[in-house]
Amino acid sequence: MSQTPFGVRLRAAMDAHGPLCVGIDPHQQLVESWGLPYSLQGVERFALTCVEAFGGEVACVKPQSAFFEVFGSRGVALLERVQAGLREAGTLTILDVKRGDIGSTMTAYAEAFLGQDNPDAVDAITVSPYLGYGSLRPALDLAATTGRGVFVLALTSNPEGASVQHARGADGRSVAGEVVAGAAEDNAAARRAGDLGSVGLVVGATIGDAARDLDLRSMGGPLLAPGVGAQGGTAESLRQVFGGALPQVLPSSSREVLSAGPDVRSLRDAVHRTGQQMRALVTPSD
């Protein structure tokens, strides 16, 4: 895998294809809506159709690991085929695994997904900071060494998240604020060089003004924004959430695009249409 930092590669992909990340989420309802059985064979058909439709056509693709893991080792093997197919097409992958632990366990997770010698390593993964941002250090450091990236959960749209993410410490800073500050520090060198950092944040597209006290623009990394389309995220909501940080935003759409299946051409058309809409949204007007 290229040693070029993930943030640099992601910026190039966003410029080339538009700022859009498409999910591959083969949950039962979606698989069956394509007229496929909810089985390993049905999920295989679903996932490989997505690879054919999205590979080389979109900035990046985000497979959700859980929907493959549910089928055991055969599902994991299928996920590896998906990753390999996207890699062959030159498309970046963000594996949605939300790993988070401490010490040697976090180190093992990092090696599993980001290690230099792992032939199935992806371009980036999602991680959970709720054992403390510092607990992610093994993944952050390894990703920096191998040219990969991480997306750290910061502000999510689920109602349960607010009680943790908005909790404040003795210094008055929220948990989400601590996460933003940690990412900003890790991205400082890239920002000084004029590059997009390789430590991104996950910030829901439908959280309203919950990020108003956070300096997302100066964080310096990409802002993965799930929830665009079928989950309610609109151009207006993205402007409300991100404001001046819009050029860093990587909107993520799953159901909105996947509902265009099972025809490859229809999926590809949906990707192009959505990508153009997102490019128009996040590109500053003259």
Catalytic residue positions, numbered: 98
Count the Cβ atoms, other than its own, within 10 Å of residue 6: 29
Residue 49 sits at φ, ψ, to 5 deg, of -65, -40
CA 153/CA 176 separation, integer angstroms: 9
CA 43/CA 159 separation, integer angstroms: 30
- DSSP-based three-state secondary structure for 23: strand
Bridge partner list, 48: none
Stated length of the chain: 286
Buried b (16+ CB within 10 A) or exposed e, 169-197: eeeeebbbbbbbebbbebbeebbeeebbb
Count the Cβ atoms, other than its own, within 10 Å of residue 202: 24
* Single-letter amino acid, residue 27: H
Residues whose CB falls within 8 Å of the CB of residue 77, separated by 6 or more in sequence, listed in order = none
* Single-letter amino acid, residue 268: R
Judge contact between 99 and 125, C-beta under 8 A.
yes
Bridge partner list, 233: 228
Two structure tokens written together for 9: 């590669």
